[in-house]
Structure 1
């Protein structure tokens, strides 16, 4: 199994390194070329609005067995149900979702400003979704939902 990742604040890197340890391989940056050896490829990254580096790489991949792992802050059940990555990749690409970590003390000023604007707008919204409430409730708080036990289905997919 080949694992490629892009991490903004560290949780995707942690997941990639743990998955690699479990699979007996290494995790490399998303830009490291994947050998054409028939092994499955797992692309992992954050998603920030329409920016999803792993989905972009998976869409370009010529490999037969490809998965995208989206690491984000939406409640896991809501992310799976919405399956927004499905709109970004070919139907043949397997999709997984993992909860991440957001440390407000580490995010960029631009990211903080974007979140502040978004949360202000959401607070005014009359009918809030679970994702909306989650954003409002966690705004300004360090939130860590990293859970390595959720790597098991990805490992099993890669080994099947």
Structure 2
């Protein structure tokens, strides 16, 4: 929170607002420039020392991550931090699955990755997302009640009762990473 000598770009691609909220908190804490992903080109990032990219998760894919993966050669000499936002609990297995799905070995070695929990409000989803989530709900309901863990039960409950896991304190490790 003290003097920030690095020039930091905090880029986000948010579908329902949680990723944008985290990006705003991060940019404010490090006095970085807050940029929407669809407006950013790799040439715009050349004057930055640190690139922080946040994207919501969609079927394990990080929205907007192509800005990093498609332009890694031009960005590899910069500090790169990527965070993904989803509703699933933070587990090592989930984090590894996301990393392996989104990044090559070369990129994995050069970035710092973080997973943050967002919000879920079924009523605010667009039609396609509602249909996908209904399919998931149906699949879950096909399981026997005794086979459902607490996280799965909570997910089912969230269809009727919106949840919001966003927490400004969750960005602390990202801020530490930026300031290294």
The TM-score bracket by the shorter chain reads 0.7 to 0.9
1:124 is displaced (CA, Å) by 1.4
Q: Does 1:12 align with 2:22?
A: no
Q: Which structure shows the bigger proportion of residues in helix conformation?
A: 2
TM-score (norm 2): 0.79
**1:75 counterpart (81, 86, 89):** 89
Determine the C-alpha separation between the residues in 2 that align with 1:138 and 1:10. Answer: 17
Deviations 1:96-151 (A, max 9, x none): 01110112231112211111111111121354456544422322321100001011
Structure 2 unmatched ranges of 5 or more: 1-7
Return 48-57 or 117-126, whichever deviates more.
48-57
Aligned to 2:98: 85
Report if the CA contact (8 A) 1:85-1:95 is conserved. Answer: no
Report if the CA contact (8 A) 2:9-2:33 is conserved. Answer: yes
Query: Structure 1: which 4+ aligned runs deviate by more than 3 Å?
Result: 126-134
Deviations 1:29-84 (A, max 9, x none): 113134223511111010110442243222123323212100000012x2x43222
Q: Does 1:42 align with 2:75?
A: no
Report if the CA contact (8 A) 1:54-1:68 is conserved. Answer: no
1:23 is displaced (CA, Å) by 0.5
Determine the C-alpha separation between the residues in 2 that align with 1:95 and 1:157. Answer: 10
Aligned to 2:119: 101
TM-score (norm 1): 0.87
Determine the C-alpha separation between the residues in 2 that align with 1:72 and 1:50. Answer: 9
Aligned to 2:5: none
Question: Larger C-alpha radius of gyration, 1 or 2?
Answer: 2
Work out the number of aligned pairs and report it.
158
